[in-house]
Structure 1
Amino acid sequence: MLALAAGPYAARISPAHGGIVAALEWRGSDGRSHRLLHAPEGLAPWTNAPNKFGCWAMLPFANRAFDSRVDDGEIRFTVPANDPSGTIHGFGWQAAWEVERQDISHTVLVHRRSAGPDPYRYLARQDIRLDEAGMTIALSLTNESDTALPFGMGLHPWFPCAADTRLGMTATGALIFGEKFRATGTQALEAGGPYAGKPVFATGTETAWSFLGWDGTARIETPSAGLAITISASESLRCPVVWAPAGADFLCVEPQSHAAGAPSEAVVRAASPLKRLEPGETLEGWMRISAEAL
C-alpha cells in the first residue's frame, strides 16, 4: 500500500488491486480528521468484484457493456464477462498497476493490456496527486491496437453518506432507465435536475441516475459531520452516474466520458457515444476532490 500526504490530506493506494485509492482523509483546522471516501474499517481491496469503497478507475469503458458486447455502430465485438449483466467497468479495476513514479505527495500508476480475446490493447495511466487543497486523479488511455476502437473511461469514488447528507449538482438531461439499468431513452431535465436544490440524498429507496449535460461540479454536505466535499471533473468526464442502494451509508458520484450502457446500447450511443481512438490516440480526463468545514 502506498501512502501519500500533502498539507491536511492523506491517501492510501493499492497498485496491486486496480490502482484503488483505498482511503482519502482530510484534517480540518480544528484538528479533526474526516474520511472523504467511504472506507470501512478492516476492509481490504480485492479484484473479484467491484470494491464498494475508495476510488478506482473504469476503463477501457465505464459502467456496463450489456451481454459483454461493445458496439459503436462501426465495429462490434465481445469482451470477457465479469458480471451477471455482462461486463462492468472494464478491466482496469481488476488489474495490477505498476508504480511508474512515487514521491511523498504524488504517484503515477500504469496498466497495459497487451493480450486478450478481444481487440482492446491499450496503455492506461493514473496520475494521483495531493496538494494543500485536495486530490487530483488524472487518467490517460492510449489505443495501442493496430485499428481504431471505441474507448471510454471514468472514475468511481464512493463517498460517506449520513441521514442528513445533501447532494448538489446540475444537469440538463439524463437517461431513462428500464430494468436492470438498461436505458430505454433520454429525458430533458428542468431547472437543473433533481439535485439542483441540494436535497437530502437518503430517500429509503435505490437511487440511480446517468446524467447528461453536467456542469462539472458536485457538492456533498453533511452537517452532522461538519463536512463539505466538492467534486469537479474535466470537460471530457461530464456524463456522471449517481448511484446508491436503499439504506446505504455511501453515495457514488462517478464522472464518466459517456453515459451508462453506451458500450452496447444504441439508444445511449446516440446521446453519449464512446470516443473512437485511432492507433496511438489518447483519451484524457481528470477528477478533483477537495474538502472544507461546514
Structure 2
Amino acid sequence: MSNEHITLTAGDAEVDVLPGNGGRVGGLRLGGVELLRQGERYGCFPMVPWCGRLRDGRFRDGATVQQMPLNAPPHAIHGTARNAPWRTARRSGDEAVLTYDLVDPWPYAGRVTQQVALTEESLTLTMGVETYESSFPAQIGWHPWFNRNLGGEDVRVDFAPAWQEERGEDHLPTGKRIDPTPGPWDDCFGMPDGVDVTLTWPGQLQLKVTSRVEWVVVYDEQAEAVCVEPQTGPPDGLNTHPRLVTPLEPLEASTTWTWTRL
C-alpha cells in the first residue's frame, strides 16, 4: 500500500486524499475539526464496481454467472477498489484526480476515475467507470463515516425518502418497497428526485449530502459514526437494477457535501 498523502485546502477546509488506501478521502477538517471517523478502514471510500452487499458474491451477466470473493460471508461487499491502490492522475491545491484500473477478481477490463474537488463551502466527489472492451454491469457509490459527535451534541440525520427497500434477514433488499421506518438503520432508501440528506451537529455545523443518484444507504448502528451513502442502485443492484457500462456509455455519478457553520 502506497502511503502517498494528498492534502487539499480551500479557506479553513482541509481534505486528505489517500490514493494508496483505496482512493479514499481520509479526512475532512473544517476549522481544524475532523468530520470523518479516523482509521485506515474509515474516512470516505469509493464503492465500485458495486455497492453494499452482493448476494452470495454472485451476479449474472447474460448467461454467465460471475463469482466474487466473499469478503462479508455469505456475501461480497462494497466492490474491489477500496482495497486497492489508485494512481494520482493530477493534483492541484484544491483538486485531485485519481484512477483505478479494474483487475482480477473483477472479470472485466475497465477504468475508474475519481475527482475530489474542494471549495470553502463544499466537497464534490465525482466518479466514472468506462470500458474500451466488453460491456459489464456496475455501480458507483461512496461510503463516508461521519463522526457522530464533534464535541457537542450527537448528530441528527434528516431526510424525506419516497420509500425504504424492505430488508430481509440476510440484510439484502427483498424487492419490496415499504414506508420509511424509524432508525437505527442499516437500510437503503429511494429518493427519486435525488439524494438530499442533512446532518446537523447542533450549535456547530450543518452538512448536506446531495447527489442526482436515486438511492442512499443510511447506516447508524455504530456508536462512533453515521454513514450516508449515495449510490447508483440498491444493495445487490448488479442483479436487481443492473446499469451497463458500454464503450459508448460510461457510468458516472457525483455527490456534493455542502456545509454551514451554526
Q: TM-score, normalised by structure 2?
A: 0.89
- Per the alignment, residue 162 of structure 2 pairs with 172
Q: Is the 8 A contact 2:148 2:225 kept in 1?
A: yes
SS where residue 263 of structure 1 aligns?
Answer: helix
Structure with the larger strand share: 2
- Per the alignment, residue 59 of structure 1 pairs with 48
Q: Give a deviation string over 1:148-193, Cα, whole Å, max 9, x none.
A: 211111011111114642111111112111113122232243xxx4
Give the 5 Å matches for 1:26-175: 26-27=30-31, 33-39=32-38, 43=39, 45=40, 51=41, 53-71=42-60, 75-113=64-102, 115-144=103-132, 146-162=133-149, 164-175=154-165
Given residue 124 of structure 1, which amino acid in structure 2 is its aligned partner?
A: V
Q: Is the 8 A contact 1:172 1:188 kept in 2?
A: no
CA distance, structure 1, for counterparts of residue 253 and residue 207 of structure 2: 20
1:17 to 10, 15, 21: 21
Q: Is residue 260 of structure 1 aligned with residue 235 of structure 2?
A: yes
Given residue 54 of structure 1, which amino acid in structure 2 is its aligned partner?
A: G
**Deviation, structure 1 residue 77:** 1.5
**Deviation, structure 1 residue 217:** 1.2
Q: Is the 8 A contact 1:72 1:274 kept in 2?
A: no
Q: Give a deviation string over 1:73-99, Cα, whole Å, max 9, x none.
A: 665311233222331111110110000
Given residue 279 of structure 1, which amino acid in structure 2 is its aligned partner?
A: P
SS where residue 82 of structure 2 aligns?
Answer: helix
Q: Is the 8 A contact 1:228 1:293 kept in 2?
A: yes
Question: Where in structure 1 do 4 or more consecutive aligned residues deviate above 6 Å?
Answer: none
Give the 5 Å matches for 1:165-204: 165-189=155-179, 193-194=180-181
CA distance, structure 1, for counterparts of residue 13 and residue 163 of structure 2: 34
CA distance, structure 2, for counterparts of residue 260 and residue 34 of structure 1: 32
Relative to structure 1, is the Cα distance of residues 90 and 127 closer, same or farther in structure 2, using a 3 angstrom cutoff?
same
Q: Is the 8 A contact 2:165 2:176 kept in 1?
A: yes
Sequence identity of aligned pairs in percent?
26
- Per the alignment, residue 48 of structure 1 pairs with none
- Per the alignment, residue 209 of structure 1 pairs with 187
CA distance, structure 2, for counterparts of residue 63 and residue 86 of structure 1: 9
Structure 2 portions without partners, runs of 5+: none
